[in-house]
Amino acid sequence: MRRRCGSRLLLCIMLLLLPMQILFAVEVITHAGSATQLQGNTNLRSIFSMRTRYWPNGEKIRVFVLPDDNEIHKTFVKQKLDMFPHQLRRTWDRMTYTGTGQPPITVHSIAEMLEKIKTTKNSIGYIDRRVEDENIHFFDAQ
């Protein structure tokens, strides 16, 4: 009996631990000025892989990301791009160290991400919460 209780407790703990990564929802955000550039078929994977480099109006897309080992970054890459962080890193490294492209700008906190998106025209990034700010546009609010 005691043993059964123990295994149930273990199961509960495991169930609690497992979904920790997906407890927060990641939101893709852009500078408010780029809201009209987003279209139904906007390809986030292509933008964050730096293959689509310009918004439809011709302005260069300013991409901001969190570091590779950041949990929000990992969740973003899996949920929104349907990729793994190491795939994205390989793509960025290839362009960086052959001179054929520029990787996204890395910011080190959510606060810095918000600040960059607010103040940089044509920018795109992601955060783990919803905020009210007239300079920030939420991608899924279309």
Partner 1 sequence: MKLCRLKIILYCLSLFSYIAGAAEHILDAVQSDATSADISQQGFDWTPYQKAWHDDVQLHGFLSQGLFNSSGNNVFGNSKNSVSAGLTEVGLNISYQALNNLSFALQGLYRRAGESTGSAGEVSLDFGFVDLTLIDLSAIRIGVRGGRIKNSWGLYNETRDVSFTHPTIFLPLIYFERSRSMMLAMDGGQVYADYNSAIGDFSFKFNYGFMNDNKELLLSITANPNVGGHLDPEKSFMTQLRYDIDGGKYIFALSYADINMGYVAYGAFDPYAGMQTHIYPIVVSAQYNGESFNLTGEYSYQWNEFSNFSNRADARPISEHWYIQAGYRLLDNVEFTVRYDASVQDISDRKGELFQQLTGLPSHLAYTKDWVVGLRWDITPAWMVRTEYHWIHGASMVSALDNPDAMNIAKDWNIYALQVSFRF
Binding site for partner 1 (CB under 8 A): 43, 45-46, 49, 51-54, 58, 60, 62, 67-69, 74, 81-88, 90-91, 93-94, 96-100, 102-103, 106, 120
Q: Which amino acid, one-letter code, is at 17? A: L
User: Identity (one letter) of the amino acid at 114?
Assistant: L
Q: At its nearest, how many Å lie between partner 1 and the CB of residue 73?
A: 10
Which of 1/99 has CB closer to partner 1? 99
Cβ proximity to partner 1, 81 vs 127, nearer residue: 81
Question: Could you give the CA distance from residue 103 to residue 120 in angstroms, rounded to a whole number?
Answer: 17
- CB-based contact 127:107 (threshold 8 Å): no
Q: At closest approach, how far in Å is the CB of 5 from partner 1?
A: 31
**What is the DSSP code (8-state) at residue 138?**
E
End-to-end CA distance of the chain, in Å?
Answer: 54
Closest separation in Å from C-beta 107 to partner 1: 13
